[in-house]
Amino acid sequence: MAFLNFFKRKTKRRGKVRKGSKIQEIRSPYTHRKSLSRKKLPKKAKNTRYSGELKLSYRNSLPWKKWLLILGGGAALLFFTYTMIFTTFFEIKQWKIYGDDIIQENSKFDDFFLVHKNENIVFLDTGEIKNTIISQYPEIENLKIKKVFPNTLVMEYENFPEVANLFNLVGDTQKKFIINEIGLLVEQDFENPNLPYIKLRTEKVLEIRDEGIPRKTLEYTLDAIYDFEELFGMHVLDAEYQPREREVHVKTERGFVIWLDTALTVQEQYNKLKKASTKLNINTESLEYIDLRISSINGDRVIFKRR
C-alpha cells in the first residue's frame, strides 16, 4: 500500500505545473497528423497534402487544351502558307501615292509600282523600290513605302522645301527655275513671287535637277537677303551669286547694290554698315553700290559710290 501511495504522489507531481514556472505546454503543428491518420478522410481529400497548418490542393492538368492549341496553331499556319503561295489573295492589285499628305492621281511614280503588279506582297522588297526612286528623284527628303495587306502598297513622301527663284543667265538668255533647300533645280519655267530671287551667270544653260548653287553658298545668299531686310528695314529685289569671284551682290529696292565676300560672315559685314550709318544714310543717299568686302584693322571700313 505504501508503494502505491508513493506512485500516486509521484504521478500527480509530474502532471502538475507550478505557477510561475517557465515550462509551458508545447503543441507541435504536426500533432494533428496522428488524429488525421486515425480518421477516414473523405474521397475529395485523398489527393490533398497537409503540411503543418497549410493546406495545398493540386489539380490535375488538362493536356487536351495544350494539344488543342498546338493543332489550332498548326492548322492556321498551314492555311496562311497555302493562301500566301498558291492563291492570288496576296498579289499586289493597287497602290496609293501621297505627296505632302495629298493623294496623287496619275503620279510620276506609278511606273515604279506597275512593274510589281500581281507580285506577292509578302515577299516584295520595298527597300529596293525606295532606293530606286530616291536615286532618280534626289529632291525627295523623306520617303516611306508601306504594305497594306492583303494587296495594297502606300507611298508617302516629302520633298526638300523650295527656298528661292533662280534666274540662270547665259549670255543674253535667261531661264527660270525653282531651287530647293539643298541647291537642286526642281521646277523649270516657273517662279514663285513669295520666294526671294537669285541670279546666277553660267557658261552653259542649267537643266532640271542640276545643282544650281552649292547648299552652303545658297544658305549664305539667303541669309544675306533676309538679314539685310531685317536689320535695315529695306526690301531686297534680288541677289546675284558670282562663283568665280565668290561674292554675293544684294540689290535693294532703292537701286544700290551691296557687295559681300563669301569668305567673311554676313553678320560681320552688315555690322560694319550699321556702324557707318551715322555718316552714311542709306535711306536718303543716292548710291550706286556699297562695298563691304574690304577688311581693316578696326574692321569698320566701308567703301561706297554715289550716283
pLDDT reading at 2 higher than 60: no
Comparing 287 with 296, which gets the higher pLDDT? 287
pLDDT reading at 262 higher than 70: yes
pLDDT reading at 46 higher than 70: no
Q: How confident is the model at residue 65 (pLDDT cuts 50, 70, 90)?
A: confident
CATH code, 162-306: 3.40.50.11690
pLDDT reading at 89 higher than 80: yes
CA 30 to CA 38: how far, in whole Å?
14
pLDDT value, residue 80: 73
What is the percent of the chain with per-residue pLDDT over 70, rounded to a whole number?
78
Judged by DSSP in three states, 121 sits in coil
How much is the average pLDDT of 224-245? 97
pLDDT reading at 208 higher than 60: yes
pLDDT value, residue 119: 95
Q: Parallel, antiparallel, or unpaired: how do β-strands 94-99 and 152-159 relate?
A: parallel
How does the average pLDDT of the chain come out, rounded? Answer: 84
Domain boundaries, the chain: 94-159, 162-306
Which of 47-61, 80-94, 254-268 shows the highest mean pLDDT? 254-268
How much is the average pLDDT of 42-63? 53
Tell whether the torsion through CA atoms of 223, 228, 233 and 236 is positive or negative. negative
pLDDT reading at 33 higher than 60: no
The per-residue DSSP string of 165-215 comes to: EEEEEETTEEEEEEEETTSBEEEES---TTS-EEEEE-SS---TTSB-S-H
pLDDT reading at 130 higher than 50: yes
pLDDT reading at 287 higher than 70: yes
* Lowest-confidence region among 25-34, 81-90, 171-180, 240-249: 25-34
Q: How confident is the model at residue 248 (pLDDT cuts 50, 70, 90)?
A: very high
Q: Are the C-beta atoms of residues 184 and 138 closer than 8 Å to each other?
A: yes
pLDDT value, residue 62: 60
| Residue environment code for 278-290, b if the CB has 16+ CB neighbours within 10 A, otherwise e | eeeebeeeebebb
Comparing 87 with 6, which gets the higher pLDDT? 87
Class of domain 94-159: alpha beta
pLDDT value, residue 249: 98
Comparing 75 with 217, which gets the higher pLDDT? 217
pLDDT value, residue 112: 96
pLDDT value, residue 303: 93
pLDDT reading at 250 higher than 90: yes
Q: Tell me which residue of 61, 267, 117, 225 sits closest to 129, measured CA to CA.
A: 117
